[in-house]
């Protein structure tokens, strides 16, 4: 029986989600929870190899979609499902919403094929679909995110895309958030960092997943 909590963190490159993931982890730890902090693509030895390919090697959109879902399948089986079965909290830096946003929105890949892959990869033995209990979406204007990214590191295959790509990614996140509004906590990520951090912790308390005193 699953008793754990599964939370994913999403946003376009430059939205700043990774910095806030740490604050969420600290808040859960303060409440004595056992945590698994992980990411996609990645989170297992095999999935990390696939991540390298997806982020750095040229490939066609179907190949890209298959690789991110292959990585996800391994990650679910090796890490996420066992942790949830042990009653732990899984904090995952990106999950399937990123595939709908980047491969679906950004690359324009067929959403129905992505939905089919989602059904296969995330099916549970009882027929339900594994989805995060909550998805924290760092919502930011793509122009602001682009400015932040310009100051950062050597870009990968996604970070090097033009702003128009991120506009499409943003719109696809928006569509997912609208379709599954009860699962999404929308965070205005162009606010100052401390305000964003507080908004994330408030959203987790409001969802009932984190006790209020941790915020």
Q: With respect to ligand TYD, which residue has the nearer C-beta, 33 or 139? A: 139
Q: Is 74 in the site for ligand TYD (CB under 6 A)?
A: no
What are the structure tokens assigned to 108, written together?
């324009």
Report how far residue 115's alpha carbon sits from residue 127's, in angstroms, rounded to the nearest whole number. 15
172-175 contacts, C-beta under 8 A, 24 or more apart? 172/100, 172/101, 172/102, 172/104, 172/105, 172/106, 173/10, 173/11, 173/12, 173/97, 173/100, 173/101, 173/105, 173/137, 173/139, 175/100, 175/105
Of 38 and 103, the one with the shorter C-beta distance to ligand TYD is: 103
Q: Which of 158, 174, 207, 214 binds ligand TYD (CB under 6 A)?
A: 158
Strand order in the sheet with 35-39: 35-39, 89-93, 5-11, 134-139, 184-188
Min separation Cβ 83 and ligand TYD, Å: 18
For the CB of residue 118, give the shortest distance to ligand TYD in the complex, in Å: 11
By C-beta, is 51 or 197 nearer to ligand TYD?
Answer: 51
What SS3 class is residue 159? coil
Pick from 7, 27, 47, 68 the residue near ligand TYD by CB under 6 A: 68
Query: Judged by CB under 6 A, which of 4, 41, 105, 142 binds ligand TYD?
Result: 41
Whole-angstrom Cα distance, residue 165 to residue 16? 18
Q: Which is nearer to ligand TYD, 4 or 104 (CB)?
A: 104
Instruction: Specify the residue, 33 or 81, whose C-beta has the smaller distance to ligand TYD.
Output: 81
Neighbour-count burial of 202, counting CB atoms closer than 10 A to its CB (0-12 exposed, 13-18 middle, 19+ buried): middle
- The CB-of-130 to ligand TYD minimum distance in angstroms stands at 15
- Under the binding rule (CB under 6 A), the answer on residue 18 touching ligand TYD is yes
Q: Is residue 40 involved in binding ligand TYD (CB under 6 A)?
A: yes
Residues 91-110 that bind ligand TYD (CB under 6 A): 93-94, 98-99, 102-103
Q: Which residues bind ligand TYD (CB under 6 A)?
A: 13, 18, 40-41, 68, 93-94, 98-99, 102-103, 158-159
């Amino acid at each position: 029986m699953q008793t754990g909590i599964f939370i994913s963190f999403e946003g376009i490159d430059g939205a700043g989600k990774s910095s806030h993931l740490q604050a969420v982890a600290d808040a859960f730890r303060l409440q004595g929870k056992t945590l698994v902090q992980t990411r996609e693509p990645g989170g297992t030895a095999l999935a990390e190899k696939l991540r390298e390919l997806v982020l750095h090697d040229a490939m066609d959109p179907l190949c890209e979609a298959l690789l991110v879902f292959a990585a996800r399948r391994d990650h679910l089986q090796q890490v996420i499902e066992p942790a949830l079965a042990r009653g732990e909290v899984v904090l995952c830096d990106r999950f399937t919403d990123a595939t709908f946003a980047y491969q679906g929105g950004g690359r324009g890949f067929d959403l129905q094929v992505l939905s089919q892959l989602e059904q296969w990869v995330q099916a549970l033995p009882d027929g339900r679909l594994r989805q995060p209990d909550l998805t924290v979406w760092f919502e930011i204007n793509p122009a602001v995110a682009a400015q932040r990214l310009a100051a950062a590191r050597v870009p990968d295959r996604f970070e090097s895309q033009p702003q128009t790509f991120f506009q499409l990614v943003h719109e696809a996140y928006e569509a997912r958030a609208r379709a599954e509004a009860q699962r999404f906590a929308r965070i205005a990520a162009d606010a100052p960092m401390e305000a964003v951090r507080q908004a994330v912790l408030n959203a987790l308390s409001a969802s009932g997943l984190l006790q209020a005193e941790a915020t």
